[in-house]
Amino acid sequence: MLKRFHIVAIVAVVSMAGAPAGRAAAPAASPAPGLAHATFAGGCFWCMEGPFDHVTGVVSTTSGYTGGSVKKPSYEQVSSGATGHAEAVDVVYDPAKVTYAQLLDVFWHNVDPTDGGGQFCDRGNQYRTAIFYHDADQQRLAEQSKQTIEASGKLKRKIVTQIVPAGEFYAAEDYHQDYYLKNPLRYKYYRFNCGRDDRLKDLWGAAPAH
């Protein structure tokens, strides 16, 4: 991520220096029969894979870009904020083992849905929160979950998370996939300095989803 505060930016630069010159992003493949897609933007996609990977019934998570106007964007293009894309994760799941409503619960508890300028230390529209629904049922459930949180009064500010139709999803470069597993020390260092967990605790308490 290219727009982090000073100490966090060092981690990203070091990580990029050791990474291969990544390929252009490619469209995500369709899920196998019996499986479904769920697509969420929650700021840095490195931080959104793990929470979903640990959910029984989730088959895979893919970091990527969606919601913009440029075909097959690169990480550098998206990070500039000029393409309109958001960093996002595409979750392939088995509806017989986990419901979309459960995935929504994981999503909400891993983001600050009241922040309209980015997420945590990552600033800019490319780090916005969004739910990209794939059908009318996902749209209904997403809107319902948002209304339930708002009615609870738990959050002190208005939810600004977008709920919009899913478009083309482009898988990010290989070095971004499973970053939290491939580079655990760098990942933890970034996450800590970004203040993500402290802010999530302030918002949601010690919620199991994060």
The answer to whether residue 209 is domain-embedded is: no
Q: Whole-model pTM?
A: 0.87
Q: How high is the pLDDT of residue 31?
A: 76
Instruction: Using pLDDT thresholds of 50, 70 and 90, give the confidence band for residue 26.
Output: low
The answer to whether residue 44 is domain-embedded is: yes
The answer to whether residue 83 is domain-embedded is: yes
Q: Which domain holds residue 137?
A: 6-204
Number of folded domains in the chain? 1
The answer to whether residue 113 is domain-embedded is: yes
Instruction: Using pLDDT thresholds of 50, 70 and 90, give the confidence band for residue 32.
Output: confident
Q: Is 70 exceeded by the pLDDT of residue 21?
A: no
The answer to whether residue 114 is domain-embedded is: yes
* CATH number, position 37: 3.30.1060.10
Residue type, 184: P
With helix as H, strand as E and coil as C, how does the chain read?
A: CCCCCHHHHHHHHHHHHCCCCCCCCEECCCCCCCCEEEEEEECCCHHHHHHHHCCCCEEEEEEEEECCCCCCCCHHHHHCCCCCCEEEEEEEECCCCCCHHHHHHHHHCCCCCCCCCEECCEECHHHCEEEEECCHHHHHHHHHHHHHHHHHCCCCCCCCCEEEECCCEEECCHHHCCHHHHCHHHHHHHHHHHCHHHHHHHHHCCCCCC
The answer to whether residue 1 is domain-embedded is: no
Q: Is 60 exceeded by the pLDDT of residue 7?
A: no
The answer to whether residue 179 is domain-embedded is: yes
The answer to whether residue 210 is domain-embedded is: no
Active-site residue numbers? 44
